[in-house]
Amino acid sequence: MPDIIPIELGLTAGNGLTLWAPRWHEDGEEWEAFLGSGDDLFVFPDTAHLAAFVRTSTEHDLLDHPEWDTATRLLTDELSPDDDHRFDIVGVPDLVAEPADIWTLAELADTVAILRSLADVCDLEVVTEVLDSAEGFSVLGLGEQVFGGRVGEKLWDEIGTVVSARWDEVVDALDSIVKVPDVDADALATAQAEAQAVLAAVAAAEAAAGGGADEDRDPDLEFWEQAGIDPVEVTVGGRTGYTLRCYLDDDPLFLSRGGEILVFSTAEGLENHIADPKVRHRLSDLNFWPEIRDAVAGGDAAVVAGRENTYVLDGVAEQLAEGPEAVDSAQLDLAVELLTDAAEARGDSESVEALSSASPLGNLIGSLTDADPDRMAPAPPYDDEAAAWTVLVDRFATTLVWDPES
């Protein structure tokens, strides 16, 4: 039977969800469709809004699809796209700036394929024109061997040239047909409650698999632990603020935009930012972000930073300058963790190396946080190490954007 597939599109206004019906045959004809009506492509901020629309609307282009009745019975978690059906349209310029390896080519091939489908179904001639203006777009599916050697490099460079010159036309064409329909309020409330119940059930199952949760554990902290995201509290430059961090394949990832970490003066300010479906940032590309957003928006999760994610950078330089006896080793250990994560996230190898054991500062830090009786402790004075620490903290502070507009 033909399928109806949830997909996510990365557009100017952020990530949006819709439905795609790949080509199917019926009555001797071939069809392909997206959830929309007339010239409009319907896009939704999260699975709850999509579910509410699917369950109640009687005016759109998928009503006659053979599997539409099945689609109306899908749960909210079943309407969340898998990783193979998330297409970052606005992110293509960044993608083609990467080497033409197997992963980059596969992601670009999938994105181009869905764009061609959108162009055909929605009559977007300019999208087809752009994709036909470089030969490389048509051979992406053949793999990296096609893009090797001098000829392959030329194909890849031509794609980059076209994207640099004309990708705004592709994005603008899609933006022009996107519509976010109103949904039935009662159906939305039901879908949001369902989404939270699914999230809670998953969290409970994972907790049970892990041997049970601590009965005295803050439920908000449990939520973030199960979600795999850390609310972070940081004090630097006399200000205290809140942001988010997670790890993908052990690589740190912050709530950030353009390499700058977004920090909010209050937990409530961060919650409002998380709950806003229009905002776009590095974490909004994660496949589980809609569930996080729904939980915060629905009041089922609040921003709370555990002790292990509370970082105080102020005062450390002065402690280092005074010497080991003045240093709070736990505070220092946490501060090093934050500075290292932030440096790795922005690709700042110089800062990472400055904190390594090979540097005088790193050697001093190691003697304070991981004492080794067989290693000779650094000798005073520690002014140079304190100065090096200050440089790293100042460098980190310049990457923070406080209380950004949504």
Return the H-helix or E-strand segment holding 2: none
> What pLDDT was estimated at residue 214?
45
The answer to whether residues 155 and 256 belong to one domain is no
Write down the pLDDT at residue 215.
42
Q: Is there a domain that residue 189 lies in?
A: no
Q: Are residues 223 and 175 in the same domain?
A: no
Percent of the chain with pLDDT over 90: 58
Closest CA to 46 of 275, 224, 299, 200: 275
| Cα distances (Å, whole numbers) of residue 34 to 53, 117, 330 | 14, 9, 54
Q: Is residue 193 part of a domain?
A: no
Residue 255's domain comprises: 216-406
Cα(356)–Cα(211) distance, integer angstroms? 36
Residues 296 and 377 in one domain: yes
Q: Report yes or no on 59 lying in a domain.
A: yes
Q: What string of DSSP letters covers 23-81?
A: EEEETTEEEEEESEETTEEE-BSSHHHHHHHHHH---STTTTSTTHHHHTT--GGGGS-
Q: Please tell me whether residues 229 and 312 are part of one structural domain.
A: yes
- Of 32, 16, 4, 7, the residue nearest 280 (C-alpha): 16
pLDDT tens-place string over residues 190-245: 988 888 777 777 666 666 655 444 446 578 898 998 888 999 999 999 999 999 99
Q: 163 and 230, same structural domain?
A: no
Domain count, the chain: 2
Burial class (CB in 10 A: 0-12, 13-18, 19+), 77: middle
- Residue 139 lies inside a defined structural domain of this protein: yes
The verdict on residue 185 lying in a domain is no
Residue 377 located in a structural domain: yes
Strands 36-37 and 40-42: antiparallel
Q: Is residue 188 part of a domain?
A: no
pLDDT of residue 165: 95
- Would the pLDDT of 375 be above 60? no
Clarify whether residues 116 and 252 are in a common domain: no
Per-residue pLDDT for 73 more than 60? yes
Query: What three-state secondary structure class fits 177?
Result: helix
Q: Quickly tell me which residue has 């996107």 as its tokens.
A: 178
* Model pLDDT, residue 368: 84
Per-position DSSP letters for 178-213, written without gaps between them: EE-----HHHHHHHHHHHHHHHHHHHHHHHHHTT--
Q: How far apart are CA 52 and CA 45, in angstroms?
A: 12
Amino acid (1-letter code) at residue 361:
L
Last residue of a domain, one of 179, 199, 232: 179
**This prediction's pTM:** 0.54
Residues 153 and 71 in one domain: yes
Under 8 Å between Cβ of 281 and 262:
yes
Last residue of some domain: 156, 179, 202? Answer: 179
Distance CA 295, CA 201 (A): 13
| 118 band by pLDDT with thresholds 50, 70 and 90 | very high
Give the Cα separation of 377 and 384 in Å (integer).
15
Residues 6+ apart with CB under 8 A from 379: none
In this structure, the answer to whether residues 110 and 224 fall within a common structural domain is no
Q: Please indicate, yes or no, whether residues 288 and 346 belong to a single structural domain of this protein.
A: yes
Helix (H, G, I), strand (E, B) or coil at 361: helix
Task: Compute the residue count for the chain.
Answer: 406
Residue 382 domain-assigned (yes or no): yes
- 239 and 171: one domain? no
Asked if residue 24 and residue 135 are part of one domain, the reply reads: yes
Instruction: Kindly state whether residues 400 and 325 are assigned to the same domain.
Output: yes
Q: Does residue 254 sit in helix, strand or coil?
A: strand
Last residue of a domain, one of 157, 179, 201: 179
